[in-house]
A and B are shown apart, each in its own frame.
Chain A
Amino acid sequence: MANRRQNTEKSMQAMFFVIATASISILFMIMLFLFKEGLPIFKTVSVTDFIFGKYWYPTSDPADFGIFPLIVASILVTGVSGVISIPLGVMTAVYLSEIAAPKVGEIVKPVVELLAALPSVVIGFFGMVLVAPFLQRVFGIPTGLNLFNASLMLAFMSIPTICSISEDAIHSVPVALREASVALGATQLQTIFRVVVPASISGISTAVILGLSRAVGETMVVLMVAGGAAMLPQSIFDPVRPMPASIAAEMAEAPVGGEHYYALFATGIVLFLFTLLFNIVADFIAHRYRQVGEASL
């Protein structure tokens, strides 16, 4: 009896372990298939030409597979959205954990969660039908579907990520640190800037990186709002074509097993490596510099 129970116990533990590795297996298979379907393009185009080539004409004859404008577009869109989302996200987090009355916080927190829950296609649609005509009118530009509009929409998609992880980090700073600072005569604001934020800067950095990683991989918004021109932009109001938009827009027309199909998977590899890098850096910061307090980053 006891022996049988122990055997069940052992097999249960083994089973749970095997299932727990599912996430790594899926991640591994994603990489495997990206490379399997993406690498054949490098038989026709060299890696350098693919990454630094300035022309993306996948359907013309002979086709040009240079994704440099797409990479630049992705970086610019993410960067500009970061300029908006980082201050707003971190400030909202500070507000929620340091300033807001508990009652107000109980309303604002769900609002941020609901903002995160809005489907990306809805935000893209909103950017297309409301923000684009508005920008066009206000700035007198030929098209409202451009880099700036896409960045603005992306910013509101990454704010919830930045805000909730930062808030977790800030919230976990021990109250004793705040009390010590206030007891020394510092104001609440001085305490925030010189004690609370420095103590949770590792968590805040993780939050920012994960927020940017979300922006770089977001598809529907850039597909609908960025304008879709595969050119190097001259101004912030130029239409662009970030990597996810290019993949999503062209996959339907690319015949399975053709050069275009391979090129889109290769673009997927580059995009995947971008987000992988972001995530590994975030993980590294979270583990290397332990947060003051017990944040569950």
Chain B
Amino acid sequence: MSSLFVNQTSNQSRSANVSAESDASEITMANTDSKMLEGNPAYDRRRKLVQRIFFFLFRAAAAANAIALLVIVYFMVANGWRAISWEFLTQPPMESMTKGGILPCIVGTFCLSFGAIIVALPIGIASAIYLNEYARPGKMVRLIRLGINNLAGVPSVVFGLFGLAFFVVILNMGVSIAAGALTLGAMSLPVIIGSTEEALKSVPDTYREASLGLGATKWQTIWRVVLPSALPGILTGAILGISRAAGETAPIMFTGAVFFTPKLPTSIFNEVMALPYHIYVLATAGTEIEKTRHLQYGTAIVLIALVLGMNLLAIFWRARLRKRLQ
């Protein structure tokens, strides 16, 4: 098994030899095996049965994902569709959040997630351009990639702590759209970089060569040839980034979202309500958790529709792009 690993640091051809040798010895063994088993109907039947059992298990595992998604969405919709009405979507919460709508939450989530993408998109695209167009493989690139991978792995609540300590307290923004959007933006950065890089990679090198061959500089090539071709892919990534930011709760709990505010924001230094935080608050912190159940389901449906809708859009768009490239 280990012979199938190709150790990067060792001489490639030598390790290839080693793996070829050990493969050869396995093949001889398999031969002696099959001499005894060849044409043995019992063995054939058995291994076909085993295969059928395992394939069934693999299918079941894949089906489990689909079932989980369906059960969650169905359950939310079945319990909450009655809560959805025009008033629910256009009114602020009333009577200590036991009645009324969720307009401030929708507006707040909109501000926070678009703010996040405004922060993350330019930085993310520029990082991806550097990594894909300018950088030569080496220690620096390795370090930058390690940084991006680790940033992607930082727990969302730790982003919240960082946002609290830096944006809210040190930069004195207070709990505000600005602080929340910056925190969410830092969190979405790896997603944007990843999808932009994928989009840049899908631009054929012949485009770049043609442009350079006509005498354009590298920057002119990137700006006038590479970026326009990669734009749809980059936008798909941006949509995914927005939907991710819209669904996050932990990073905005201490930085952007509050329990309750009836006012709609007028500046980026206002605090806001947000859909995910509203669900959490109603479901755990209220004094009348049971009484507001329908509002909780309703808010959850709106959030699911928003997030899954954006994702479906991105998935279809990407599928069309891939087809066009092929």
Q: Which residues of A come within 8 Å of B, CB atoms?
A: 5-6, 8-9, 12-13, 15-17, 19-24, 26-27, 29-30, 33-34, 36-37, 87-88, 91-92, 94-96, 99-100, 106, 108, 110-115, 117-126, 128-130, 156, 159-160, 163, 184-185, 187-190, 198-199, 201-202, 210, 213-214, 216-220, 223-224, 244, 247-248, 251-252, 256, 264-265, 268, 271-272, 275-276, 278-280, 282-283, 287-290, 292
Contact = CB atoms under 8 A, between A and B. Distances in A.
B7 interface: yes
Contact of B151 (A23, A99, A124, A218): A23
Contacts of B153: 210, 213-214, 217, 275-276, 278-279
B100 interface: no
Contacts of B130: 16-17, 19-20
Contacts of B271: none
B6 interface: yes
Contact of A117 (B48, B166, B244): B244
A231 to B, nearest CB: 20
Interface stretch (B60-68, B84-92, B203-211): B60-68
A276 B150 CA distance: 6
Given A12-B219, A219-B156, A244-B155, A290 B149 contact: no
B283 A128 contact: yes
Q: In the complex, which range does the number of interface residues on chain B fall in?
A: 35 or more
A119 B161 contact: no
12 contacts: A9-B219, A12-B218, A19-B123, A20-B126, A23-B193, A26-B186, A113-B315, A122-B279, A188-B51, A216-B155, A279-B150, A283-B146
Contacts of B312: 110, 114
Contacts, number: 286
Nearest to B143: A24
Contacts of B156: 120, 217-219, 244
Nearest to B51: A189
B65 A115 contact: yes
Contacts of B149: 279, 282-283
Cβ-closest 5 pairs across A and B: A217-B155, A119-B247, A24-B147, A91-B61, A20-B130
B76 interface: yes
B76 to A, nearest CB: 7
B231 interface: no
Contact of B300 (A122, A268, A280): A122
B161 A13 contact: no
Interface string B54-90: 1101110110111011001001100000000000000
B47 interface: yes
Nearest to B187: A26
Given A219-B155, A248-B157, A256 B169 contact: yes
B155 A199 contact: no
B308 A114 contact: yes
B249 A219 contact: yes
A190 B249 CA distance: 45
A278 B248 CA distance: 22
Given A99-B59, A122-B72, A130-B75, A108 B65 contact: yes
Contact of A280 (B47, B150, B277): B150
Given A8-B217, A114-B308, A30 B159 contact: yes
A91 B217 CA distance: 48
Interface in B28-64: 30, 34, 38, 47-48, 50-51, 54-55, 57-59, 61-62, 64
Contact of B253 (A96, A123, A248, A287): A248
B325 interface: no
Nearest to B216: A5
Nearest to A276: B150
Contacts of A122: 72, 76, 247, 276, 279, 300, 303-304
A115 B72 CA distance: 10
